A and B are shown apart, each in its own frame.
Chain A
Amino acid sequence: MSIIIPQRWRTDVAAILDQAQEETILLRKRPRREWFNLDDEHTEFGLYALLADELSIAGNLYGKVHTDMVEEGECYSFSFRYRPPTAEGEIELYTKLNLLPDGQVVIIYSAHT
């Protein structure tokens, strides 16, 4: 069921992704490779910035809450439209992010179409 992702969570996660300080982001191997397979001009910082931008958009962001993750924390997934650098059209990107309990670390579980 789709819910409105809490603004507080969005703000915290967007700030971490935007600043991209060491030891604050954990990107799983699979989403890293999937992100790079989407466009040859993709960069890792490009993914962080894109997710930060999407979380910072005005208005509600709809997604799903995940309470069954092995890792503790507050986890949401959502989809959004995005145009890769060399693509002619937009794609729908799905992502799943977890903010760990200390509020300092974000895990990126998914970043694919």
Chain B
Amino acid sequence: MNAFTQRLVRIEVEEPIRIPSTVPGEKARTILVKVPAMRDPKDGEIYFGVEASIILDKAKARHMGVLAPQELAELRKRLGLTQKEIAEVLQIGEKSWSRWETGREIVSRSLNLLLMALYEGRVNLPWLRAQCLQDKQPAPAPRLRSRGFEVLFQQGMTWNTLTDALRATRSAANLTGMHHYSHFAIYTHTPAMPAAKISPPPRAVTHSQASQFSAVKVPAECEELCVA
């Protein structure tokens, strides 16, 4: 032990912390936080230890609505991941995670939403890993219910050739003045089906809507799309 640290007297003080605003141009506000400190009776100097730093950084993070460095470390350890592994799952650089966890930088506000969901258990690691894998793999073909489509796919038809075929069928029907009534049911739970412009999601589309089929992006919640 040092003679200096032995003579310090434990006290409690209120320290100001500045909370930056998320509104551009708006000034930071200052709040007061009670923290443990030490006073040197010799000259009255006040010192803060790591304990106070943790309290002050946590208070700042809480008022900013972001996770504190210690909470990020706690989250990573709870998930049983190394810094490299969590960076991979979140699809960020390892250095970024390290900077946030060590308090070098305040965590990115956009990613903080996801981290908060993880921290509070509203999102779990398997789900996050599944998203990560999905992003790395090529989009799977839509799962089709219609027997006709299954056969076509077994014969090597791809999603693109299928939509081409539908377009061709429609064109032929238009040219001959006839409606094409082949019914196809398509499950759209895969990311291969793009995001939707139709609201509410259709259970079935009419012939005229079908003519826009290739341009229409179908939402994930749209279970079945019947092209008539």
Is A20's CB within 8 Å of the partner chain B? yes
Within 8 A of B (CB), among A39-60: 40-41, 43-46, 48-50, 53
B83 to chain A, nearest CB (A): 14
- Give chain B residues whose Cβ lies under 8 Å from the Cβ of A46: 103-105
A30 to B51, CA, bound (A): 18
Is B69's CB within 8 Å of the partner chain A? yes
Q: Is A40 touching B20 in the complex (CB atoms < 8 A)?
A: yes
Is A1's CB within 8 Å of the partner chain B? no
Q: Is A40 touching B50 in the complex (CB atoms < 8 A)?
A: no
Interface locus among B37-45, B170-178, B215-223: B37-45
- Considering only CB atoms, which chain B residue lies closest to A40 in the complex? B20
Q: Is A28 touching B46 in the complex (CB atoms < 8 A)?
A: yes
| A45-B103, A48-B103, A49-B104 known; A22-B50 Cβ under 8 A | yes
Q: Is A32 touching B48 in the complex (CB atoms < 8 A)?
A: yes
Interface residues on A, range: 35 or more
- Give chain A residues whose Cβ lies under 8 Å from the Cβ of B69: 43, 45
With most chain B CB atoms within 10 A of its CB, the pick from A28, A29, A53, A72 is A29
A99 to B2, CA, bound (A): 11
Within 8 A of B (CB), among A6-23: 18, 20-23
Count, chain B residues at interface, CB 8 A: 34
Q: How many CB-defined contacts (below 8 Å) exist between A and B?
A: 95
- Give chain A residues whose Cβ lies under 8 Å from the Cβ of B50: 20-25
A92 to B129, CA, bound (A): 43
Q: Is A72 touching B104 in the complex (CB atoms < 8 A)?
A: no
Q: Is B48 touching A71 in the complex (CB atoms < 8 A)?
A: no
A46 to B56, CA, bound (A): 12
Is B106's CB within 8 Å of the partner chain A? yes
Residue of B5, B28, B42, B103 touching A49 (CB-CB under 8 A): B103
Is B102's CB within 8 Å of the partner chain A? yes
| A70-B42, A71-B4, A100-B2 known; A41-B106 Cβ under 8 A | yes
Is B3's CB within 8 Å of the partner chain A? yes
Q: Is A36 touching B18 in the complex (CB atoms < 8 A)?
A: yes
- Give chain B residues whose Cβ lies under 8 Å from the Cβ of A33: 16
A36 to B49, CA, bound (A): 16
Is B17's CB within 8 Å of the partner chain A? yes
B5-39, CB under 8 A of A: which get 1 and which 0? 10000000001111110000000100000000110
Q: Is B45 touching A23 in the complex (CB atoms < 8 A)?
A: no
